Structure 1
């Protein structure tokens, strides 16, 4: 199926979407990061979109935190029939911050937790575009595993 004819799903921050049928999952990223997972055998695909790298153990274990969002994405993929041994990952976002008054390197830390967790789960990262100068619009075609990216010039967090 052509990506243009697929059902479109927009993924907001702190959300996860996994689909058994082909869809196009889209999101906008600034310092946030999205991890796209695709099972090369079952063709099951999913994406998360998180804002901060680590949940500190207080309050709700929300997918707004990278360590929670990645764990939940993998778990949901497996509950739909995907196998971790056949998954590949792609990581996007984590734009650099230029305001030194408020910079905590959130984008860089968001990207680091994704790479670390993919390694811990044994899922190879086959593509990444992280910690750049611009925000981005990504579209993940779950029928093929292909992610298309367009840079956003301007101010997106």
Structure 2
């Protein structure tokens, strides 16, 4: 059973929400990579910025795979993204702790580090719930509207036949 049954913020289904999460996280990781590379190259470069830049580059690849997985209905890419998102969030916490522990940029930047991390943490938690819910729907054979598909409605290995280019079989009522 999915965590979020049929909608993301009550405005779209979890498939569309997963696509939005993928695009949002891809944009955030590209921006974060640019910021971390800038901080390393033009400021006093520290080890946390190097680790952060490597982490962001890996996250960009994982985000692109997740978007591809949503479009092509490949659930293992969604699961990989969920696991990677949890690991990246924890590693980012360590990077923020190290950055604030070294006093990078003074006290004003310490508050900014923690505020940015808190926003990223909330987005990561909700995004992970949305993508994992879509993964569960695919695993359980639930179509986009939250209803279970009839047995044999889709070819083996696919959960949402319409996304894979197949049309759902309509069962005709039996006449008595």
TM-score higher than 0.5:
no
Q: Which has the higher helix share?
A: 2
TM-score (norm 2): 0.23
Bigger Rg over Cα: 2
